[in-house]
Protein backbone atom coordinates (compact mmCIF):
# COMPACT_ATOMS: atom_id res chain seq x y z
CA UNK A 1 0.00 0.00 0.00
CA UNK A 2 1.49 3.36 -1.00
CA UNK A 3 1.86 6.12 1.62
CA UNK A 4 -0.96 8.06 -0.02
CA UNK A 5 -3.21 5.01 0.05
CA UNK A 6 -2.08 4.35 3.62
CA UNK A 7 -3.05 7.85 4.61
CA UNK A 8 -6.50 7.46 3.06
CA UNK A 9 -6.98 4.07 4.68
CA UNK A 10 -6.04 5.35 8.16
CA UNK A 11 -8.27 8.41 7.76
CA UNK A 12 -11.17 6.19 6.76
CA UNK A 13 -10.65 3.80 9.68
CA UNK A 14 -12.87 3.98 12.72
CA UNK A 15 -13.37 1.80 15.74
CA UNK A 16 -16.69 0.57 14.35
CA UNK A 17 -14.59 -1.70 12.10
CA UNK A 18 -13.56 -3.61 15.18
CA UNK A 19 -17.09 -4.87 15.75
CA UNK A 20 -16.76 -5.03 19.51
CA UNK A 21 -17.76 -2.70 22.29
CA UNK A 22 -14.87 -0.91 23.95
CA UNK A 23 -14.56 -0.96 27.73
CA UNK A 24 -13.17 1.89 29.78
CA UNK A 25 -10.00 0.74 31.55
CA UNK A 26 -8.00 2.22 34.40
CA UNK A 27 -4.92 4.19 33.36
CA UNK A 28 -1.77 3.25 35.23
CA UNK A 29 0.70 5.85 36.44
CA UNK A 30 4.47 6.02 36.67
CA UNK A 31 6.40 4.42 38.31
CA UNK A 32 4.44 1.35 37.17
CA UNK A 33 6.97 -1.01 35.61
CA UNK A 34 4.84 -1.69 32.56
CA UNK A 35 5.45 1.88 31.42
CA UNK A 36 9.21 1.39 31.32
CA UNK A 37 9.30 -1.92 29.47
CA UNK A 38 9.13 -2.35 25.70
CA UNK A 39 5.87 -4.03 24.76
CA UNK A 40 5.62 -7.23 22.76
CA UNK A 41 4.73 -7.10 19.10
CA UNK A 42 1.24 -8.44 18.49
CA UNK A 43 -0.91 -10.26 15.97
CA UNK A 44 -3.28 -7.42 15.04
CA UNK A 45 -5.95 -9.86 13.88
CA UNK A 46 -6.24 -11.68 17.19
CA UNK A 47 -9.46 -11.28 19.16
CA UNK A 48 -7.59 -10.06 22.22
CA UNK A 49 -5.93 -7.26 20.28
CA UNK A 50 -9.18 -6.25 18.58
CA UNK A 51 -10.81 -5.97 21.99
CA UNK A 52 -7.80 -4.07 23.36
CA UNK A 53 -7.97 -1.64 20.43
CA UNK A 54 -11.63 -0.94 21.18
CA UNK A 55 -10.85 -0.56 24.88
CA UNK A 56 -8.08 1.94 24.19
CA UNK A 57 -10.37 4.08 22.05
CA UNK A 58 -13.16 3.91 24.63
CA UNK A 59 -10.77 4.90 27.41
CA UNK A 60 -9.32 7.76 25.36
CA UNK A 61 -12.82 9.04 24.58
CA UNK A 62 -13.82 9.38 28.23
CA UNK A 63 -10.53 10.98 29.30
CA UNK A 64 -10.69 14.77 29.01
CA UNK A 65 -7.99 16.20 26.77
CA UNK A 66 -6.61 12.77 25.91
CA UNK A 67 -5.31 12.58 22.33
CA UNK A 68 -3.67 9.19 22.51
CA UNK A 69 -3.34 6.13 24.70
CA UNK A 70 -0.93 3.22 24.57
CA UNK A 71 -1.62 -0.31 25.73
CA UNK A 72 0.98 -0.20 28.47
CA UNK A 73 -0.84 2.81 29.91
CA UNK A 74 -3.71 0.45 30.69
CA UNK A 75 -1.31 -2.14 32.05
CA UNK A 76 -0.94 -4.31 28.96
CA UNK A 77 2.63 -4.74 27.74
CA UNK A 78 2.03 -4.87 23.99
CA UNK A 79 2.82 -2.49 21.14
CA UNK A 80 -0.62 -1.05 20.41
CA UNK A 81 -1.89 2.52 20.75
CA UNK A 82 -4.69 4.79 19.65
CA UNK A 83 -4.56 8.44 18.58
CA UNK A 84 -7.13 11.12 17.82
CA UNK A 85 -5.93 14.72 17.62
CA UNK A 86 -8.92 15.95 15.62
CA UNK A 87 -10.03 18.56 18.13
CA UNK A 88 -6.60 19.86 19.12
CA UNK A 89 -5.82 23.42 17.99
CA UNK A 90 -2.20 22.61 17.10
CA UNK A 91 -3.28 19.94 14.64
CA UNK A 92 -2.70 20.44 10.93
CA UNK A 93 -2.82 17.10 9.14
CA UNK A 94 -5.30 14.79 10.83
CA UNK A 95 -6.36 11.18 10.34
CA UNK A 96 -9.17 11.06 12.88
CA UNK A 97 -9.34 8.16 15.27
CA UNK A 98 -7.02 5.24 14.55
CA UNK A 99 -5.24 2.40 16.27
CA UNK A 100 -1.84 1.10 15.21
CA UNK A 101 -0.10 -2.12 16.15
CA UNK A 102 3.68 -2.70 16.05
CA UNK A 103 4.23 0.83 14.78
CA UNK A 104 7.65 2.23 13.94
CA UNK A 105 8.95 5.57 12.77
CA UNK A 106 10.09 5.31 9.15
CA UNK A 107 11.28 8.88 8.66
CA UNK A 108 11.34 12.08 10.70
CA UNK A 109 12.54 15.64 10.24
CA UNK A 110 12.13 19.25 11.36
CA UNK A 111 12.46 18.99 15.12
CA UNK A 112 10.41 21.36 17.23
CA UNK A 113 10.34 21.75 21.00
CA UNK A 114 7.00 21.82 22.83
CA UNK A 115 5.53 21.14 26.26
CA UNK A 116 4.04 17.65 26.77
CA UNK A 117 2.00 15.98 29.44
CA UNK A 118 0.82 12.42 29.88
CA UNK A 119 -2.04 10.72 31.69
CA UNK A 120 0.48 8.34 33.21
CA UNK A 121 2.58 11.21 34.59
CA UNK A 122 -0.21 13.47 35.84
CA UNK A 123 1.87 15.74 38.07
CA UNK A 124 4.57 16.84 35.62
CA UNK A 125 4.96 18.32 32.17
CA UNK A 126 8.13 18.71 30.15
CA UNK A 127 9.63 20.28 27.07
CA UNK A 128 10.42 17.68 24.43
CA UNK A 129 11.96 18.13 21.03
CA UNK A 130 10.26 15.97 18.40
CA UNK A 131 10.03 15.79 14.65
CA UNK A 132 7.21 17.82 13.13
CA UNK A 133 7.31 15.84 9.88
CA UNK A 134 6.87 12.13 10.35
CA UNK A 135 6.28 8.95 8.42
CA UNK A 136 5.17 5.88 10.36
CA UNK A 137 4.39 2.30 9.52
CA UNK A 138 2.14 -0.04 11.47
CA UNK A 139 -0.72 -2.48 11.20
CA UNK A 140 -4.39 -1.88 11.70
CA UNK A 141 -6.18 -3.99 14.30
CA UNK A 142 -8.78 -6.33 12.93
CA UNK A 143 -7.73 -6.59 9.30
CA UNK A 144 -4.03 -6.57 10.07
CA UNK A 145 -3.33 -4.40 7.00
CA UNK A 146 0.07 -2.76 6.97
CA UNK A 147 -0.20 0.99 6.50
CA UNK A 148 2.45 3.62 6.03
CA UNK A 149 1.56 7.29 6.08
CA UNK A 150 2.96 10.73 6.74
CA UNK A 151 1.73 13.46 9.01
CA UNK A 152 2.93 16.63 10.67
CA UNK A 153 2.60 19.05 13.59
CA UNK A 154 0.61 17.83 16.56
CA UNK A 155 -0.39 14.48 15.10
CA UNK A 156 3.31 13.77 14.46
CA UNK A 157 4.09 14.64 18.08
CA UNK A 158 1.27 12.45 19.39
CA UNK A 159 2.42 9.51 17.28
CA UNK A 160 6.00 9.79 18.53
CA UNK A 161 4.77 10.07 22.13
CA UNK A 162 2.66 6.91 21.72
CA UNK A 163 5.32 4.94 19.83
CA UNK A 164 7.70 5.84 22.64
CA UNK A 165 5.20 4.35 25.10
CA UNK A 166 5.18 1.10 23.16
CA UNK A 167 8.99 1.11 23.37
CA UNK A 168 8.90 1.65 27.15
CA UNK A 169 9.82 5.33 27.06
CA UNK A 170 8.03 8.21 28.74
CA UNK A 171 8.33 11.85 27.70
CA UNK A 172 10.48 12.17 30.83
CA UNK A 173 13.13 10.15 29.01
CA UNK A 174 13.29 12.80 26.29
CA UNK A 175 13.02 16.09 28.16
CA UNK A 176 15.36 18.72 26.82
CA UNK A 177 17.26 19.38 30.04
CA UNK A 178 17.25 19.78 33.79
CA UNK A 179 15.08 22.90 33.56
CA UNK A 180 12.62 21.41 31.09
CA UNK A 181 10.48 19.70 33.74
CA UNK A 182 7.57 21.51 35.33
CA UNK A 183 5.14 20.62 38.11
CA UNK A 184 1.66 20.70 36.63
CA UNK A 185 -0.07 23.79 37.96
CA UNK A 186 -3.22 23.28 39.97
CA UNK A 187 -5.25 26.27 41.06
CA UNK A 188 -7.77 25.70 43.80
Partner 1 sequence: MSTDLYAVTVLGHDRPGIIAATTAGLAELGLNIEDSTMTLLRGHFAMMLLCRGGSDAAAIERALAPLAVGGDLDVAVRPVASGPAPAAGGSAWVLTVHGGDRSGIVSAVVAEVAAAGGNITDLTTRLAGDLYLLVAELDLPVDADVAAVESAIRAAAERVGVTATLRPAEADEL
The residues of the shown chain that bind partner 1, judged by CB under 8 A, are 29-31, 36, 111, 121, 123-124, 129, 169-170, 172-181, 183
Are the C-beta atoms of 99 and 20 separated by less than 8 Å? Answer: no
Q: Which is nearer to partner 1, 91 or 166 (CB)?
A: 166
116 is catalytic: no
Find the shortest distance in angstroms from Cβ 176 to partner 1.
7
Helix/strand/coil for 180: coil
Rounded Cα distance, 111 and 28, in Å? 29
We find the least distance from the C-beta atom of residue 179 to partner 1, in angstroms, to be 7
Contact at 8 Å (CB) between 106 and 22? no
The least CB distance from residue 113 to partner 1, in Å, is: 9
Give me the catalytic one of 15, 116, 148, 162.
162
Minimum distance of partner 1 from residue 122's CB (angstroms): 8
Q: Which is nearer to partner 1, 97 or 120 (CB)?
A: 120
Distance CA 94, CA 75 (A): 27
In angstroms, give the least distance from the CB of 162 to partner 1: 18
Closer residue to partner 1 in complex, CB, 71/128? 128
Whether 87 and 64 have beta carbons less than 8 Å apart is answered as no
Q: Is the dihedral of CA 25, 31, 32, 33 positive or negative?
A: positive
Which residues contact residue 70 at a Cβ distance below 8 angstroms, ignoring those fewer than 6 apart?
39, 56, 80, 81, 162, 165, 166
Nearer to partner 1 among residue 39 and residue 141 (C-beta): 39
User: Which residues lie below 8 Å from residue 104, measured CB to CB, with a gap of 6+?
Assistant: 136, 137, 138, 163
Which is closer to partner 1, CB of 16 or CB of 185? 185
Q: How far is CA 65 from CA 42, 53, 84, 90, in A?
A: 28, 19, 10, 13
Catalytic residues: 162
Amino acid sequence: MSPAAGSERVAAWSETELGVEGRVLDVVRAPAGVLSARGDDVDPTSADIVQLAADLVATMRVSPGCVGLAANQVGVGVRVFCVDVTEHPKTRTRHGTFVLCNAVVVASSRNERAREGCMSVPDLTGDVKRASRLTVRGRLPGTGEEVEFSTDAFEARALQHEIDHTDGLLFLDRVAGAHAIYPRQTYL
